[in-house]
Amino acid sequence: MDYNYHTHTHRCSHASGTEEEYVKRAVENGIKYMGFSDHVPLRFSDGTESGYRVPVSDAKEYCREIKALAEKYKDKIDIKVGFEMEYYPEYFDKTIESVVEYGAEYLILGQHYTAPENIVVNQTISETDSVEDLCKYTSLVVSAMKTGVYTYVAHPDIFNFTGDVSLYKDEMRKICVASRELNVPLEINFLGIRDNRIYPKDLFWQIAGEEKSPVVFGFDAHDALNAFDGDSLKKAKALVEKYGLNYIGKPDLVLPEKNKRR
Ligand SMILES: [Zn+2]
Ligand SMILES: [Zn+2]
């Protein structure tokens, strides 16, 4: 594995270390393509900001700093700056406009909530048997893929549904089919492996294997050590083998633009 486009920074306030420490760790372990994808800034319509993201006031500096590092290390590694971003239809156009202005070079989808988190407090990783929420999640992820701005879907299997299994499979199949048809890869998330989270979820990857959806890996580093994570890499490769996944390696980056549709 010589790429990783899922990296956070101290600016989201739940990650540690300097960006340069992450870069050094990646270079030392043979990473040739690296992307920072911290949580996208978002100011809600009520004027408040969410606490787990890069603050709006830091966004330009975040991009500027990563681009300076990219220049400094350009002979050793190709570094890009982007964001991990939910798909909230009501904020989408404005957010895209902002990330383009900040200078972002790619986006990955991370659907941590089914509605802006100033309205909905339940994360998609929290257990639920709500069919309505499950369908909302699927519909948001598929709509996000159709916008054409996301390079890939981070932890597509984050939704923690405890209800009817056949319904869950039908919904996840919609994501896997859209991924194949729209050519938007699905990420096996290494933070999930490291932390023993509900993802990677076997049932999901079984379906992704059946549908031949394109698959990529992401370290989801929140500290410098995990800017390379060899232990999780072994487990992810085993998952690829087990379900005959269509692992594509380094994804092609999609430059965020306004009014883009696949
Ligand atoms: Zn995430
Ligand atoms: Zn992440």
Alpha carbon distance 84, 96 (integer Å):
12
**pLDDT of 262:** 57
Give the DSSP H or E segment for 240.
helix 230-243
Tokens 């590092």 sit on residue:
69
Residue 86 Cα to ligand 1 midpoint, Å, equals 9
The yes-or-no verdict on residue 189 having pLDDT over 60 is: yes
Alpha carbon distance 237, 180 (integer Å):
20
Of the pLDDT bands very low, low, confident and very high (cuts 50, 70, 90), residue 258 is confident
Question: Which ligand is in closest contact with the Cα of 157?
Answer: 1
The yes-or-no verdict on residue 261 having pLDDT over 70 is: no
Mean pLDDT of the chain: 96
**pLDDT of 152:** 98
110 token code pair? 């991370």
CA-nearest of 20, 2, 164, 150 to 85 is 150
pLDDT tens for residues 138-158?
Answer: 999 999 999 999 999 999 999
Residue 166 Cα to ligand 2 midpoint, Å, equals 28
Of the pLDDT bands very low, low, confident and very high (cuts 50, 70, 90), residue 16 is confident
Residues whose beta carbons lie less than 5 angstroms from ion ligand 1: 110
> Which domains, ranges and CATH numbers included, belong to the chain?
3-247 (3.20.20.140)
Question: Which ligand is in closest contact with the Cα of 219?
Answer: 2
Residue 68 Cα to ligand 2 midpoint, Å, equals 22
Torsion of CA 233, 239, 242, 247, to 10 degrees: -80
The stretch 6-18 carries a mean pLDDT of: 90
The stretch 91-119 carries a mean pLDDT of: 96
The yes-or-no verdict on residue 260 having pLDDT over 80 is: no
**pLDDT of 215:** 98
The yes-or-no verdict on residue 167 having pLDDT over 60 is: yes
